[in-house]
Chain A
Amino acid sequence: QKEVEQNSGPLSVPEGAIASLNCTYSDRVSQSFFWYRQYSGKSPELIMSIYSNGDKEDGRFTAQLNKASQYVSLLIRDSQPSDSATYLCAVKARQAGTALIFGKGTTLSVSS
């Protein structure tokens, strides 16, 4: 059973702080990793994707991947109240036609 594990939270941080979200996955053949943000009652929206070990930065967001440890994280710098949402980690295997496998998500709350 392929699994993606996330701490459900809630993770509470003050405005302007760094929020750190973590994710582990069980399938070693996983090749692509995505972070989605989901507001209540809405569908997920893509924030970041990462495929190689190391860090990838995009604005206030930094994704980190360590395939040896089967670990992927998302850092949000200068957190804003509008960042309050559920963050879903998603993993895709290399095989053609396979879907994303999602974790349960971490709820982030940024207080002003």
Chain B
Amino acid sequence: GAVVSQHPSWVICKSGTSVKIECRSLDFQATTMFWYRQFPKQSLMLMATSNEGSKATYEQGVEKDKFLINHASLTLSTLTVTSAHPEDSSFYICSARDSDRGDYSNQPQHFGDGTRLSIL
């Protein structure tokens, strides 16, 4: 089945550090990937839609200069949390859909295992 690999799985760093999270589709191509954030006991909130070869589309309230997204190839999207602060501590999850299957509504999204970010 379709596999999405997310790395790292856990990051602990000091306030002010920038952290990069990678999301790779291992056995399919994804022109679009999605980045979600989940706070404890909350649902997954869509942060941005990452588009291969073009700028990401950010959801309302998400700072594009703080959460930098790069989707340079059909299998890799990266999210960089710049100058992270304790309030950025959260569970970050990426997902992707197989582009070769078309963007039909009934195609499921495949999720990475998530990255738990803790900012001290």
Contact = CB atoms under 8 A, between A and B. Distances in A.
A67 B111 CA distance: 26
A46 B108 contact: yes
Secondary structure call for the B interface? strand
Contacts of B116: 41
A104 B113 contact: no
Interface in A81-110: 88, 92-94, 96-97, 99-105
A6 B45 CA distance: 15
Interface of A: 31-32, 34, 41-46, 49, 51, 88, 92-94, 96-97, 99-105
Interface of B: 6, 32, 34, 36, 42-46, 49, 51, 91, 93, 95, 103, 105-106, 108-109, 111-114, 116
29 contacts: A31-B105, A32-B106, A34-B108, A41-B116, A42-B113, A43-B6, A43-B111, A43-B113, A43-B114, A44-B44, A44-B93, A49-B106, A88-B43, A88-B44, A92-B105, A93-B105, A94-B105, A97-B32, A99-B34, A99-B46, A99-B95, A99-B109, A100-B34, A102-B36, A102-B43, A102-B44, A102-B45, A103-B43, A104-B43
